[in-house]
Structure formats: structure tokens, C-alpha cells
Structure 1
């Protein structure tokens, strides 16, 4: 850490401390401290944030279900088409065999024989009789077997067609149900956004409070630590514009870095325009993964927008972000936070290390990656971006170490 950064941090600390002290000592005109007011607002906001994260989690899960249903529907539709073609071929083959049988019977009738028995009885001598018997036996046996096989196949294919049709109907019904759920959740989310916007406005009126100053200080120090990790981590040249400008974007858009001093600290991360951590290749194995590499790589995506069901740098949801970062190092994680909560080994809050997964709610509805100094990097909620936030939340439900 250079002297300039240290001095900025000291100035920031003093600014936070002074601002917090002044507000803590002030009254709201009724003899009660404004600190209790901002505490109440922060608690209300946190409660709403939890509700929003739960909705985001549900929306993402429904979107995943819809996506999987579409794939299943496409597969079943393809199977139905193939089955119809096979059924048609079997029917054509069966009809051909029937026609051959009818042709033989017609030929026998024209020749004065109304049955296979007539063919046998019209033999000219013993040898001819024996020969005709054997021939008729083979023809009859072959015809019977052919027709039986074709009928069995026809019955089987018809049953498979009905089964696939039933499955397709169920999947279509499930898709419709999921879309209805998604519409409801989106409406609920719109309501929550209005409430959060109202609370954000009230919080900004009291943003110099000691509580807010403490959280911003925690995040600012964590951001400096992340920058140091980035500087020390292996680097590769990349043409990925998003990775190159991620930290700069973060410093411009992250709403919790609102003070001038904090912005100066975090925006210094923009100087690192190379993707960190080792390149994703066959050499990327779990044995080479370090906590710092995970944090360094994750920080490339600061400023990336939250997107429901997002699993790429074009946009992430919380579990999609974590899954993507770990996949870079060859570590496969489940898709949703509830399942990710069961991976690895449990870690208490006091034993958290950079690179650990941190979860909120049980079962988890939110997840992020711990970066140290009581902070974690995460894709928080719709309308927001990947950013660093304090892990000091009432709904923190534990960490997991995955290596």
C-alpha cells in the first residue's frame, strides 16, 4: 500500500469518525438522538432488502425452471416427431406385407386354389407334395411372424407416442405455471423497489450517521485490500473490455461508495486493466487455487449488472456470479444458493477467510464471496451491480469453504 493510499485512508477514517460523532451528538429537535432514527431506517431497509433478495432468488429459480422446461419440451417434441416417422414406416411395412399376402391368396384363387391346402393337394406326385408342404409351412410361418412383429412394434410405438405426448402436455402446463409465478414475482418486486427507493431517499438525508460511516469505512478498507490482492495476483492480458473496466465501472456506479474520499480509494482500482488470476485452461486445477486468486478474479466483475438468472459477465444473479467465479478455477458448484450452501465445509463468521462463500438465510436466498475485513463481493439484487458490501447482516447464516 503506497503512502498516498494510506493518507487517503487516514483522511477517510477521520472524516467518518468526525461525521459520525457530530451526528451522534445532535438531536432531532425532540430530545432523541438521530442515531436511533437512522438505525430504525437501516433496519427497515435491511428487512426490505431481505424480502427483495428472496424474491430475486425465487424469480431466478423460476427462470431456470422455465429454461429447463423449454429444453425438455424441445427434446420430447423431437422424440415425438421421430416416433411418428417410425410408426409410419412400420405401418407402411405392415401394409406391404399384408398386400403380399393378399396377392398370393388372389393368385391361388385365380389358379383354382382357395387356400394353402389347395396348393398342397394339387401336387403332382409325392416329391412335389412334400416340397409344397415345406414351402407352404415356411410361407405361413414367415407371414405370421412378420405380421406379429410389425403389430407388436406398432403397438409399442403407439404407446411411446402417447407417453411422450402426455409428458409434453405436463411440461407445457408447468411452463405456463412458472410464467404465471414469474409475473407475480415481478409485480411483487416492483412494489418492493418502490419501498426501497423511498427508504434510500430517507437514508441519504441521514447518510452522515455513525452507522453508515462505519459500514462505508469497512467497505472502503476491504476495497483497498482487494486492490492489493489484485496487484499481487498473477495476471494475463485480455481483450475483455468488461474485465478491463470492471473496477472503474464499480467505482462509478456502486451506490454505497458515495463519499468523495471513498470514491478516491475505490477508483484507484481502475489502474489494474488486466484480468487477474490464472487463465482458465487445463492447468487450472483445484490444487492451484488460492483464496487470493478467487478474490482477485471475482473483483474483475465489479460493476457488472444484476440480471435474473444471469450466469455470465453480461449479467449475474448472486448464485450465478459465485458459480461463474469458481468455475474459472475448475470448481463446479450447484446452480442455486440453497444447494451451494451444502458444498464444502462450514465456516463460522469469526473464521471466515477470503474466498469463502458467505450465505444469508436458511435455506439460503443470497450468497457471495468473502474478501476480508468483514466484507464480501456479491451480485446483490435487481437494479444493482456486483459490488463489495458488509457481511454484518442479521440474516447471515454461515460460510462454506470450497477448495
Structure 2
């Protein structure tokens, strides 16, 4: 009877301990759920980088439009100056033409006579034709000159009008570009909010998973402690009055077998250097320069140490070792020699997207340095080949 009672007590205590340490979560967090949240975060970060790239491209286009507007306005000013010159020349020639007519029509102190009178006053047929030819040539010459000046003035006025139309179109393009950029920034704000929410969910999931693991460890420890206490209780309750028989010593285990002699490794084969391998000195200099800007904030269109975007950072760092890169990540993607993502060397450019919307510099050891996105700073991150599309080797 006592024996059954003790067994009942032990079983009840184990069940009670198990109930106390068992996690109370109705839906335990799985690794699949955590991986799905991480994938969602990666998607949001990718979208943000794409939008950052769109904004940087819009800023670059806006800069080009500004340059065109300034250039066109310069042409307008030059054309306006030419119009003034043409108008002045036209007025001057009109005065000269008028004076010439007067000089032909005037005859001493007599009153002005007409061309017909001048011709009819000729003394002979020969004199008539001479006067007629002279007057005709004179009139024709001045008429052509005046017509030419009029045409030039009209052409300049039309050119000025066309330049104004072009400037107005460029300004309209700027307005549309600014509106597009504002929409991009608005879309980005929503994605950033979604990203923050997803990051919060991930933190909650990780915290819950950690709590579940701790609860499970505590449960297993409690069960083990209870299991160790059960034999001792039963032995104390059921101990026989007669002395126990001495146990036979266990047979010693056989000695371990003598390990086989190790085979000395063969001499290692020297590494084969690829024809386009990066010079370690060049790579070290490039990476050292890049690391100087760790912590510099991301700035749209930034290309100086006061603020970088992704391609502004890579172009600035490469320029420090004497290599000029295009301004945008999509243009940088077409520079140098393409290399497989599993054969990267320090100093290689790594790109996301085709055409690229993001670029960084591989620094070796499975890491790369880059200017990630707005709200972030230049940093070193883990290089995950699956997140990248291409790589280019520019250093030699």
C-alpha cells in the first residue's frame, strides 16, 4: 500500500513540475516564420534601394536639365544681342538709302524731281539708258540689302522664339520631374514604415522563440531532476531489511586500438593567379580609402565625404586610386570585366539588379562596403551572393 502511495506522489510531482515550466504560447514560433519575415525585410530594403536609385537618377537628370536651361538662356541672350545689331544695321542702311535717293533726285538748288523726270531729262537715247541702268542697279542693290537685313532680323526673332519654347519645355520637364520625385519619396515613406513594422515583428518573433527555448530548457531540466529523485525515493521506501549482495565489478573496457599513423600531406600546389587578378597593393589601398568613410550618412545624389549615395561612394573611392567611374550604378555596371560572383577578389564592384540600382565594393572575407540607403550610413555588411546580380573587376 505504501509502495503505491509513494509512486502516486512521485508521478503527481512530475506532472506538476511539467505543467509549471511548459510554455504557455498557443502558437509557437517556427524557423519558417522567422525566415519569411527576414525575406520580407530583404524585399523592403531592396525596394528602398531601388527608390533611392530612382531619386538619385532624377536628381542627376534635373542637374542636366538645369545645365541645358542655362545653355539655352545663354543662346537667347546672344540671339537678342544679334537682333539688336541687325535692327541697328537695318536702320542705318535705311538712312543711307534715303540719302542716296535724295542725292539722285536733287539737282542743285532746284526742287526735287522724280525718277521719271530724271530719265526724261536725258539728252539722248544713250544717256537715257545709262541713267536708267544706274538707277535700276542702285535701287536693286539697296533693295536686296534691305531685304537681306529684314530676313536676318526675322530669322533671329524666330530663333529667339524657338529658344524660349525650348527653355519653357525644359522647365516643364523639371516640374514633372520634381512631381515624380515627390511621388517616389512618398512611396518610399510608406515602404520605410512597412520595413519598420516588419523589423518589429521579427524582433517579437525572435524574442518569443528565445523565450520558448528557455522554457523548453527549463522543462527538460525539471524533468531530469524529477527523474533523478524518483529512484532514491523508491529505494528509501522499499529498502529490504537484509543486506544487499555486493555487486560484481564491471569488466574493464578493452584498450582503444592504436591509431593508424597519419599520412603526411603532400606539398600544396601554388595558387594559380588569374590573368586579370587584382593587385593586392591596389586592393589594399582602395579598401583602406573606403574604410575612411565608414559612418558617412547616405545622401541622395551625394558624391563627397559630406554625404554619399551608393554610386557616389564607389566613384569617389575609386577616384582616390586614379580610376574614373561613371556617376550612376547602372553605368558603372558596364565598366571593367565581368567576374562570377563565386570568384570575387577584394576591390571588385558588386551590383544588385540589371540594370543595377545598387553598388558596393567587395572587401574579402565574405563582406562588402557600401552606402546602403537613406537613413543609413556607409557600413560593412555580409555579402550574400543570392542578393546580387553581377560583379565587375576594374582594378588591376
TM-score when normalising by structure 2 = 0.67
Which residue number corresponds to residue 295 of structure 1? 287
**CA shift at 1:47, angstroms?**
0.5
| Greater mean alpha carbon deviation, residues 80-89 or residues 349-358 | 80-89
| Greater mean alpha carbon deviation, residues 181-190 or residues 133-142 | 133-142
Which residue number corresponds to residue 47 of structure 1? 43
Which residue number corresponds to residue 64 of structure 1? 60
**CA shift at 1:337, angstroms?**
1.2
Distance 1:61 1:123, change over 3 A: same
Select 1:94's aligned residue among 85, 90, 95: 90
Secondary structure at the aligned position of 1:87 is classed as: helix
Deviations 1:112-137 (A, max 9, x none): 3323x765776799999999789757
| Greater mean alpha carbon deviation, residues 298-307 or residues 390-399 | 390-399
Q: Distance in 2 between matches of 1:28 and 1:131?
A: 124
The answer to whether the aligner puts 1:355 opposite 2:351 as a matched pair is: no
Which residue number corresponds to residue 362 of structure 2? 370
Distance 1:327 1:141, change over 3 A: farther
Preserved contact between residue 374 and residue 390 of structure 1 (Cα < 8 Å): yes
Select 2:303's aligned residue among 277, 294, 311: 311
**CA shift at 1:28, angstroms?**
9.3
**CA shift at 1:200, angstroms?**
3.0
Which residue number corresponds to residue 196 of structure 1? 195
The answer to whether the aligner puts 1:114 opposite 2:114 as a matched pair is: yes
Which residue number corresponds to residue 387 of structure 1? 379
Deviations 1:228-276 (A, max 9, x none): xxxxxxxxxxxxxxxxxxxxxxxxxxxxxxxxxxxxxxxxxxxxxxxxx
Preserved contact between residue 356 and residue 400 of structure 1 (Cα < 8 Å): yes
Distance 1:113 1:83, change over 3 A: same
**CA shift at 1:45, angstroms?**
0.6
Secondary structure at the aligned position of 2:389 is classed as: strand
Which residue number corresponds to residue 252 of structure 1? none
Preserved contact between residue 69 and residue 170 of structure 2 (Cα < 8 Å): yes
- Counterparts of 1:4-403 in structure 2, within 5 Å, are 29=25, 32=28, 34-111=30-107, 112-115=112-115, 139-140=138-139, 142-205=141-204, 290-392=282-384, 394-403=386-395
Deviations 1:210-238 (A, max 9, x none): 9xxxxxxxxxxxxxxxxxxxxxxxxxxxx
**CA shift at 1:150, angstroms?**
1.7
Deviations 1:25-62 (A, max 9, x none): x9994575553343222111101001101110111111
Secondary structure at the aligned position of 1:371 is classed as: strand
Provide the aligned length of Structure 1 versus Structure 2.
302
Q: Distance in 2 between matches of 1:113 and 1:69?
A: 62
Unaligned runs of 5+ in 2: 1-21, 210-277
Distance 1:139 1:27, change over 3 A: farther
Q: Distance in 1 between matches of 2:117 and 2:354?
A: 84
Unaligned runs of 5+ in 1: 1-25, 211-285
**CA shift at 1:77, angstroms?**
1.4
Distance 1:292 1:118, change over 3 A: farther
Preserved contact between residue 28 and residue 34 of structure 1 (Cα < 8 Å): no
Distance 1:384 1:303, change over 3 A: same
Distance 1:121 1:321, change over 3 A: farther
Q: CA RMSD in A?
A: 3.3
Preserved contact between residue 29 and residue 205 of structure 2 (Cα < 8 Å): no
Q: Distance in 2 between matches of 1:55 and 1:380?
A: 12
